[in-house]
Structure 1
Amino acid sequence: MVQLSRRQLLAAAGAAAVAGLAACSDGDSDSGNLDGKRAGAMDGFKAGDQFKATEPLKFSIMLLSNQAYPYKADWPFWAELTKRTNVTLEPVAVPGSDYNQKRSVMVSAGNAPLLIPKTYHPSEEAYIAGGAILAVSDYADLMPNYTDKVNRWNLKANLDTYAQEDGKYYLLPGVHEGVWQDYSLAMRSDILTKLNLAVPKTWDEVASTLREMKKAYPNQYPLSDRWSTPPQPGGNALISIVGQGYGVNAGWSWNPAFWDANAGKFAFTGATEQYRQMLQYLAGLVSEKLVDPESFTQTDDNARQKFASGKSFVMCCNAQTLVKEARKDIAKLPGATVTKIPLPMGPMGASLPPDNRLENGLMISRKALENKNFVALMQFVDWLWYSDAGQMFSRWGIEGETYSGKVEDASFKLDPKIKWSGLNPGAAKDLQVDYGFSNGVFAYGGSTAMLNSQFSDEEKVFQAEMHKREIRPVPPGHPLTVEEREQATLQEAALHDHVDQQTLKFILGQRPLSEWDAYVAELKGKGLDQYVGTMNKAYERFKEKK
């Protein structure tokens, strides 16, 4: 999605089956013990029902104010939401650049809003020990739309590593019916045509394509990339998508836990042979001057300026930035065209990681449990974020006003006077800016039909190609105890920092890959063996409980 929706420092994971987790919860977690907390709730609320509170309610929510569509109190979204649900949301709007820090401060201080969305796993783990956030799995039985989708879409394995050592999970993720791959390379298609080059299908073919571009334009770097701020590999998109082809979660998809299926145990991602091979590939591109070395440190604006001026021909993109930025950026270059190529394949072949069936999600403040409207709150969350009707509303708005038709039978059409991403690009009104719909705080996850409704014909072709690829198995869970997590968090921070620093040096040629063994030894000196040992100990416990 848009650039503020980055999946930096993320790894998708999961917890035990929703019903099972609800059943094994303890204490006051059983929804049957919620007497006095059902004010405003609907009786017999079930999947597919329109939620409407039996009395007017107000709930506070932390709202990421996206720079592309800053928060407006008069968005039609707010009034229509209240009309449909009898719930008024009270936003605490925070700029995207400050969101993570502000969330941390407010949650830790105990004054966060009741609803805390736009949270990526595993960042919720920092708040578990302090008791600031709710074990949402304890109340899954209050959310019939959520549990229905988890069960029908077979998301149990994906949810497995959201589980903590207590068997509970603390983040409600956005859920997708299928795997969704968005990020890839934007490539100047007019340059491909001019040089008689085919669209590359593999990362090796990408290298060959860049070499041909370099031959034709020897004074330029063919690829100069964006999405590297803050300037460190941990926030880098190119490393992430190349890493996918090598089977590692790297760059902004970083996950320290690498599941070695052959060995039946976990390893540390930054010390694996797959990670080394990925570095070797990227270092080769830089050494041949096929990739601008500033790609790993420059701002987005600098990368876009190089692309707009014709100084580069390739950069990372997603469906929205292709249309909203890349095509607009090159509009002044005569005959210039750009396309998003199918994600190139690496040694892992025509496959995709299983991670992206879960999206960023929602934490709920534990204070909500003290609210007499708690059950109504959970029903409201279930309807808005997980029901088909709620997802249609948050994404597309009001039938007859902003759209017509249905996504299920492909009759859906956005009103021609309204634009969104690649749909109706010449329209005067913007669905996000002027109406507040398709806001990344609310509109994510859903059925494949819902996902396809937002795509142009061009993007549908891209997605069809992605759907042909095999989905890799989901790694097993390895939930840590509170004590283990505290120690592992410190160890992983030191390890990750060293990986970031040395990754950049290896890629830029400042450190030769012949020193790989020395680098691994350095990681061991920072607690690598202890960290991996903790993960595998947790996995063995998890396996025994299964």
Structure 2
Amino acid sequence: MVQLTRRHLLTAFGAAAVTTVAGCGDGEESTEGLDGKRAGAMDGFKAGDQFKATEPITFSIMMLSNQGYPYKADWPFFAELTKRTNVTLESTAVPGSDYNQKRSVMVSAGDAPMIIPKTYHPDEEAFIASGAVIPVSDYIDLMPHYKEKVARWNLQPNLDGFKAQDGKYYLLPGLHENTWQDYSLGVRTDVMEKLGLSQPQTWDDLTTVLREMKKAHPDLYPLSDRWSTPPQPGANNLLNILATSYGTHAGWGYRPAHWDAAAGKFVFSGAMDEYRQILQYLNTLVTEKLIDPESFTQTDDIARQKFANGKSFVISANAQTLVNELRKDIAKIPGAKVSKLILPTGPAGATLPGESRLENGIMISKKALESKNFVAMMQFIDWLWYSDGGLMFSKWGIEGQTYSGKVDDGSFTLDPGVKWGGLNPDAPKDLQVDYGFFNGVFAYGGSTAMLNSQFSEEEKTFQAEMNKREIRPVDPPAPLNDVEREQVTLWASALKDHVNQQTLRFILGQRPLSEWDAYVKELEGKNSTQYMDIQNKAYERYKKEHG
């Protein structure tokens, strides 16, 4: 699912800063114990180099097969990758719906491929104690492109949050130059224009817009939302973007521990007053019939049908779904137009959370470290996932065949015979389906220029507004030890279930918000206080041991 505020423009630190990254305790073991593991590796591999193994090599990889572009062994991506790098990927393809479970089973059993992408922090923590995955931070000296971007984009504070109690991290995340806010709400701008409404700047402004829509169309709910199934607010975009604006964690982005900088400690997210304010806001929309109460339980298809039939005017959206789905859905409505709202601001002001500069990433299985080609594999990963050349290849494909020009000088254009997202929508070939490029297993991260290359002018305008916002600091590291992790795991499920259940009840008015204090007591009865005590103990311990 990208990032730097323009107010915090990052400087290029140069060679000294690159050295500093390794000097922070990362990469210190990468030059030791690797005798016999350098077969196929390049000598003197450095940032800017095109990786090509000195002999043909095969690496095994776990491959998420996306429903939108199912895995094909004969994608041009694979043949061209082998041509450029001398590396053949042996894929274990797994449907997206089964990916996390299959990955867990294979890693735990020691049967996982060498390269395990599409892993979201902190999922990797489950495999640390067994030694099934390696501490990748020990080997980043083998990855010059990765190190250079971490230093130049000042990403070390973000990576600190990935560290385990031993001060090492076990996941190589996607790296983004700047914070990227993609998700917001899609709104029928023709309806707004007809009613003389201006773009809402705040969530309160949005309430005013919805009220005017309701006044003009009393028989419908102006907002009927999607992305809430399975029916729990823990899988919900609307709560997530509200949490971004209120300064807490909810919906898709929910996690139990929130760093309270003023108090200097972690607090339980689901008990924060900011969380209560979100529920109060949504309850007001429900009470005034401005939001469809089925928004929190209905399937995406039903939500889209309501939008397509003119039964609602506002729905969750991102850059791709705006073009690929919503605009097609309303095409039969004369004069209908839909655009993505600039994300409204809330009590947290014009800010965005800093965590989004890191994406899902790669675990490396223990058996990879036993391979004679281990060093070559780390160089290969470094080039494909972290070099500008590798990112250009994985995202846009083959120059002269699928695209022309460069992203950094603005001359980039996708070949007119190839479509992706909102680019060339009527082209006969699909970049993902037919070629295998822009596959989420490989294509993420990169510079702001690289990110903007995938956007229409409309989306670039949206991003320009988002990039004006200040980035909030990331949470400090507070890694748990094995005993602590086992303990909080026993509490976490019951706490999350209770937060989800009561969140929905509060929103729908099935439980009055006057019972908020009672709800907080219920969380305490399910060990929320003890949970945060352990989290804060881990924070203090890490700060003492690692600074």
TM-score (norm 2): 0.95
Offset at 1:201? Answer: 1.1
Count, aligned residues: 529
Structure 2 match to 1:189: 189
* Displacement after TM superposition at 1:31 (Å): 2.8
Q: 2:462 — aligned with what?
A: 462
Amino acid across the alignment from 1:507: I
One-letter code aligned to 1:90: E
Q: Deviations over 1:452-489 (max 9, x none)?
A: 10010000000000011111112211111111111122
Contact 2:200 2:206 in 1 (8 A): yes
Report what 2:290 is aligned to. 290
Q: Which residue of 2 aligns with 1:44?
A: 44
Alignment of 1:72-151 (within 5 A): 72-151=72-151
Deviations 1:249-301 (A, max 9, x none): 21011121111111111101001111111111111111111111111111111
Q: Which runs of 5+ in 2 are unaligned?
A: 2-19
Per-residue CA deviation, residues 367-393 of structure 1 (Å, 9 max, x unaligned), is 101111111110000000000000000
2:158 match: secondary structure:
coil
Contact 2:184/2:341 (8 A) holds in 1: yes
Q: Is this contact kept in 2: 1:246–1:278, CA < 8 A? A: yes
Q: Is the 8 A contact 2:26 2:168 kept in 1?
A: no
**Aligned partner of 1:418: which letter?**
V
- 1:542 is displaced (CA, Å) by 2.0
What is the letter of the counterpart of residue 341 of structure 1? L
* Secondary structure at the counterpart of residue 259 of structure 1: strand
Distance in 2, matches of 1:430 and 1:533, equals 51
CA contact (8 A) 1:18 1:140 kept: no
What code does the residue aligned with 2:537 have?
K
> Which residue is 1:8 aligned to?
none
Listed one character per residue, the Cα deviations across residues 441-460 of structure 1 (whole Å, up to 9, x for unaligned) are 10000001100100100000
Specify the SS of the correspondent of 1:173.
strand
Distance in 2 between the 1:176 and 1:412 partners? 20
1:39 partner amino acid = A
Checking the alignment, whether the CA contact within 8 Å between 1:22 and 1:30 is kept in structure 2 is no
Identity score, percent = 72
Q: Residue 23 of structure 2 aligns to which amino acid in structure 1?
A: G
| Separation (CA, whole Å) in 2 of partners of 1:406 and 1:542 | 44
Which residue in the other structure is 1:20 paired with?
A: 23
Structural RMSD (CA): 1.3
1:493, distance to aligned residue in structure 2 (A): 2.0
Letter in 2 for 1:514: S
Deviations 1:428-450 (A, max 9, x none): 11111111101111000000110
- The match for 1:216 is 216
Instruction: State the SS of the aligned residue for 1:36.
Output: coil
Q: Does 1:329 align with 2:337?
A: no
CA distance in 1, matches of 2:163, 2:26: 14
Residue 446 (structure 1) aligns with: 446
- In structure 1, what is the equivalent of residue 387 of structure 2? 387
Alignment match, 2:339:
339
TM-score with structure 1 setting the length:
0.95
Amino acid across the alignment from 1:163: K
Deviation at 1:168, TM superposition (A): 0.6
Q: Tell me if the contact between 2:47 and 2:145 (Cα under 8 Å) persists in the aligned partners.
A: yes
Q: Which residue of 1 aligns with 2:348?
A: 348
**Paired position in structure 1 for 2:4:** none
SS at match of 2:161: helix
Offset at residue 106 of structure 1 (A): 1.2
Decide whether the 8 Å contact of 2:404 with 2:412 is kept in 1: yes
Instruction: Check if 1:274 corresponds to 2:274.
Output: yes
Partner of 1:416: 416
**What letter is aligned with 2:22?**
A
Amino acid at match of 2:402: T
1: CA distance between counterparts of 2:166 and 2:129? Answer: 11
**Partner Cα separation in structure 1 for residue 366 and residue 37 of structure 2:** 14
Provide the secondary structure at the position in 2 that maps to 1:407.
Answer: coil
What's the counterpart of residue 312 of structure 2?
312
Residue type matched to 2:153 in 1? W
Q: Aligned-pair distance for 1:18? A: 4.2
- Does residue 200 (structure 1) correspond to residue 200 (structure 2)? The answer is yes
Q: Give the partner amino acid of 1:385.
A: W
Q: 1:23 to 1:303 in 2, by over 3 A?
A: closer
The structure 1 segments of at least 4 consecutive aligned residues displaced by more than 3 Å after TM superposition are 20-25
Distance 1:380 1:139 in 2: 13
Distance of 2:320 and 2:219 partners within structure 1: 30
- After superposition, the Cα gap between the structure-2 partners of 1:282 and 1:123, relative to the gap in structure 1 and judged at 3 Å, is same
- Provide structure 1 residue ranges, at least 5 long, that are not aligned to the other structure: 2-16
Name the CA distance, whole Å, in 1 between partners of 2:158 and 2:411.
31
* Per-residue deviation, residues 388-426 of structure 1 (Å, max 9, x unmatched): 000000000001111111110100000011111111111
- Mapped contact 2:26–2:137 kept (Cα < 8 A): no
Separation (CA, whole Å) in 2 of partners of 1:543 and 1:105: 34
| Equivalent in the alignment of 1:14 | none
On the 8 A contact 2:223/2:290 being kept in 1, the answer is yes
Paired with 1:363 and 1:47, the residues of 2 have a C-alpha distance of: 22
Q: Find the aligned partners of 2:26 and 2:92 in 1 and give their Cα distance.
A: 34
State the partner residue of 1:431.
431
State the SS of the aligned residue for 2:432. Answer: helix
CA contact (8 A) 2:26 2:139 kept: no
Q: 1:23 to 1:452 in 2, by over 3 A?
A: closer
**2:163 maps to what in 1?**
163
CA distance in 1, matches of 2:34, 2:521: 54
- Is the CA contact (8 Å cut-off) linking 2:432 and 2:439 kept in structure 1? yes
The residue aligned with 1:530 is: 530
